[in-house]
Amino acid sequence: MSQPIPFTDTNFKLAVVQELMYNQNLLPRFTLREYAAEQGFTYDDGSFAAVPEALAYFAALEIPGELAEKITEIYMDGGNEIYLEIAPNWDGEDGLFDVDEFADARHFPNLKSMTLFYTGNENALETLRARGIEADWL
């Protein structure tokens, strides 16, 4: 197995995990309800906040380097499963999952398209487009 991909931005990593785990089924699927039962913790499923144990799970999750080539598109949407498994009642109205740093794009040679939550950071789009990635706001 190859080295895990080193991420600098957790929210960029979450967007990649959405693609690999929930869209392509290349990583074991995380379900908050099952994980909470296994680990013996409870959470407020009516909360808009992130469940700390879920965030910690994804922060510690290693993404094998050989999966980097499988990422061709990233589509960030408030309805993505990963966000609802971390913050079950999240409504997308805050910047909880906004990507602040795009250096992680360098790990994904086949990444051609990114749709991002709107942050107003035009520099982000320019940075991605300079790498040959079609980038736009959601």
- Structural domain range at position 107: 10-137
Asked if residue 63 is part of any domain, the answer here is yes
Split at pLDDT 50, 70, 90, the class of 16 is: very high
Asked if residue 27 is part of any domain, the answer here is yes
* The token pair that represents 21 in the structure block: 């785990």
Asked if residue 3 is part of any domain, the answer here is no
Asked if residue 99 is part of any domain, the answer here is yes
Per-residue pLDDT at 92: 87
What is the rounded CA–CA span in Å between residue 94 and residue 130? 28
What's the whole-number mean pLDDT along residues 34-60?
Answer: 96
Asked if residue 2 is part of any domain, the answer here is no
* The token pair that represents 113 in the structure block: 């398209």
Q: Are 13 and 7 in contact (CB under 8 A)?
A: yes
Asked if residue 92 is part of any domain, the answer here is yes
Split at pLDDT 50, 70, 90, the class of 72 is: very high
Asked if residue 4 is part of any domain, the answer here is no
Q: Look at the chain and report how many structural domains it folds into.
A: 1
* The token pair that represents 112 in the structure block: 């051609």
* Residue linked to tokens 């990583």: 27
Asked if residue 1 is part of any domain, the answer here is no
What is the rounded CA–CA span in Å between residue 82 and residue 16? 10
Sign of CA dihedral 105, 57, 100, 114: positive
Per-residue pLDDT at 1: 62
